[in-house]
Structure 1
Amino acid sequence: MTILVLGATGNTGAEVVKQLQAKGASFLAMVRNLQSASRLGLAPAQIRVGDFYDVASLVQAMQGVSSVYLAMAAHPDNRQWVSNVLEAMKRSGASHLVKLSGMGAAETAGSEIIRTHAQTDRLVLSSGLTYTLLQPNSFYQNLFASVESIKATGQFFLPLREARQSVVDIRDVAAVAVAALTEPGHDNKTYQLSGPEALTFSEQAAILSELAGKSIRYVAVSRSVAEQAMLAAGMDTWLAERLAEILDWFAEGHYDEVTDDVETVLGRPARTFRAFAEEMVSLVK
């Protein structure tokens, strides 16, 4: 059984590659060009070049593949990309798709990114292929984007008000993906993946402060301020607007549900935020 990782250089994809490698699984990674594959540390024979816009290239990348992991960056063409992946799987004979979605995927959500997760999940469900849908909350590792701010000012800035969120470690999400790709028992399942508790970002800041031995403060900012900061950092307009929108949706308090799906799949509890913070504090002291 050979696995193909799509989105292999992204946050979850790179971690899935790392864990498949550690497990000794037979897998390939698809990239848009060979230069982008260099940081994966894979043998040339493990690399396939393809493009989500090009079904023929996807079919070629899937030759000899039985299972596919799919994660993709938020983009206006996500629905077309997922449709192309499903078409390529049918043409190539790949039969099992493990797709990264998002917690609370619903077409009534107040976020285009979340609505798109729901729409693309529906494409998978109607495809006739065997699937595993992973619907995680946001990741602990998103805080890495605030490392420089914390080091310089002792503060990090997000438009999340005082909403509680059951954020999860990206390594746990990847571990569930690897289990679904390499072990039986996950066909046609949907997993809602959370951490073991729902914390506000002020509570996260308090834990970081304790562990770092210095004051670290979360500062709630408005959606518009967050969007302008992302634009100033060079992000394109569509993505800055959609990310500000999803953060504002999180701020309404829809994402505090704690599930046990990580523990059910992995046979161990999900990592706590404190355990993650113990690793992160060396970066912000």
Structure 2
Amino acid sequence: MAPTVLIVGATGNTGFSLTETLPALLKSSKALSNHRIIALTRSADSPAAQKLAKVPGVEVVEKNWVDITADWLREHQVVRAFVASHNEPNQFAEESTFYMAALAAGVKYAVRISTTAANVRPDCKAYYARTHWAIENLLSQPEFSALQWTSLQPNVFSSFLLMSAAELIKEYRKTGNQHVLKLLAAKDAPVGVIDASEVGVFAAHLLAQDDVSAHNQAKYVLNGPEDITGKQIVELVEQYIGVKVDEVSYQDNSFIDMLYEMKYAATGQSKNVILSIKHALETSWEGKCSASTTSKEVLEIAAPKLTAADVLESLLD
């Protein structure tokens, strides 16, 4: 069996583009051309998984990543891994357990998806950002020195910020009516939104490096090529619908209350913890997530190209 690159979250918003990109990069590598790729999915019957199964050099395996053990990693000869974890309250327990298994199995390198760089700190009010800080802190300890790693900190995914704009445009085209445009963005604060697929492409380039030592314990900030403000999002919407937007609600994260009621209320999980997500975008409202924060390595290796306007157009297809 050949040495393996494992992709956890292969059908997700970052993992899919990574899985599509990686085979060609490995094929052109001197050190990694004999490596195979396992794309992990919880459902091999999903459209995304079936599409990835057609990519030459990719083997789709149905397995829940949180059940992976050191024995499983050894059996499949995993030497490098990509991890796009969930952000549920038990994230630290499950993601750290994976790295414990990886360390025991002799995995050499892992690339993981973190969150908004300005939030990855011990005093962030949003619980899951503290989790990412804790994971990075864990991996930085001497006990984990045998496992090299890189953490990717994309500031804000463009589809997340633009989804409500796309929904209003679709509604107007269909009915001629407008609902209140609820934007997560602040009116005037610039945000360097990035398309999730371009984060995956950058991750693929890291996983395909012959020598990853230069990226060990690095935390790379990723943004798109340019900033956008809430006001500019409104202007984009108006270009599509041909009239003024009737009403805009900026810095609107009211959907989180609905998320709690629909997904978490019946689970018994802490409402206080879940609702702390409301604080996650505060750093972007403060102007701390502009394109100027992008790490130079990102620009040198695989500079993102998709603008907010490009992504909005794709959301309308």
The gaps in structure 2 that reach 5 residues or longer are 28-35, 172-177, 266-270
User: In structure 2, how many angstroms separate the alpha carbons of the residues matched to 1:204 and 1:145?
Assistant: 11
Residue 251 of structure 1 is aligned with which of 249, 263, 285?
285
Q: 1-side partners of 2:18 and 2:180: how far apart?
A: 31
Residues 1:93 and 2:129 aligned together: no
* Aligned residue among 226, 230, 233 for 2:259: 230
Secondary structure of 1:255's aligned partner: coil
Partner of 1:157: 182
AA paired with 1:47? V
* Residue 137 of structure 1: aligned partner: 155
Indicate the SS of the match to 2:263.
coil
Is this contact kept in 1: 2:194–2:304, CA < 8 A?
no
| Aligned with 1:199 (options 218, 228, 238) | 228
On the 8 A contact 1:160/1:248 being kept in 2, the answer is: no
- How many correspondences in the alignment? 278
Contact 2:81 2:110 in 1 (8 A): yes
Map 1:101-112 onto structure 2 (within 5 A): 101-102=114-115, 103-104=117-118, 105-112=120-127
Q: Which 5+ residue runs of structure 1 have no aligned equivalent?
A: none
Q: Following the alignment from structure 2 to structure 1, what is the Cα–Cα distance between the partners of residues 45 and 157?
A: 27
What is the DSSP-based 3-state SS (H/G/I as helix, E as strand, rest coil) of the residue aligned with 1:94? coil
**Residues 1-285 of structure 1 mapped to structure 2, 5 A cutoff:** 1-21=3-23, 23=25, 26-35=36-45, 39-43=49-53, 46-56=59-69, 59-61=71-73, 63-102=76-115, 103-104=117-118, 105-126=120-141, 127-128=144-145, 129-143=147-161, 145-146=163-164, 147-152=166-171, 153=178, 156-162=181-187, 163-184=189-210, 186=212, 187-188=215-216, 189-210=218-239, 213=242, 215=244, 218-220=248-250, 222-223=252-253, 225-231=254-260, 234-237=262-265, 241-256=275-290, 258=292, 259=294, 260-266=296-302, 268=303, 270-280=305-315, 282-283=316-317
Q: Is the 8 A contact 1:263 1:270 kept in 2?
A: no
Compared CA separation, residues 55 and 169, structure 1 to 2 (3 A): closer
Percent of residue pairs bearing the same amino acid type: 23
Partners of 2:220 and 2:297 within 8 A in 1? yes
**Residue 215 of structure 1: how far off its partner (Å):** 4.4
CA contact (8 A) 1:154 1:215 kept: no
Partners of 2:85 and 2:97 lie apart in 1 by 13
> Which one-letter code corresponds to 2:72 in the other structure?
Q
Higher mean C-alpha deviation, range 200-209 or range 150-159: 150-159
**CA RMSD in angstroms, aligned pairs only:** 3.0
Closer, same or farther: CA 43–9 of 1 in aligned 2, 3 Å:
closer
Tell me whether 45-54 or 120-129 shows the greater mean CA deviation.
45-54
Find the aligned partners of 2:234 and 2:71 in 1 and give their Cα distance.
46
Shift of 1:15: 2.4
| Matches of 1:59 and 1:37, distance apart in 2 | 30
**Secondary structure of residue in 2 paired with 1:279:** helix
Which amino acid in the other structure matches residue 219 of structure 1?
S
- 3-state SS in 2 of match to 1:11: coil
The alpha-carbon distance between structure 1 residues 155 and 2, as it changes in their structure 2 partners (threshold 3 A), is farther
Q: CA deviation at 1:212?
A: 5.8
Q: TM-score, normalised by structure 1?
A: 0.82
Change beyond 3 A, Cα 1:201–1:29: same
- Which protein shows a greater Rg? 2
**Conservation of the 8 A alpha-carbon contact between 1:66 and 1:95:** yes
Q: Report how far residue 51 of structure 1 moved.
A: 3.5
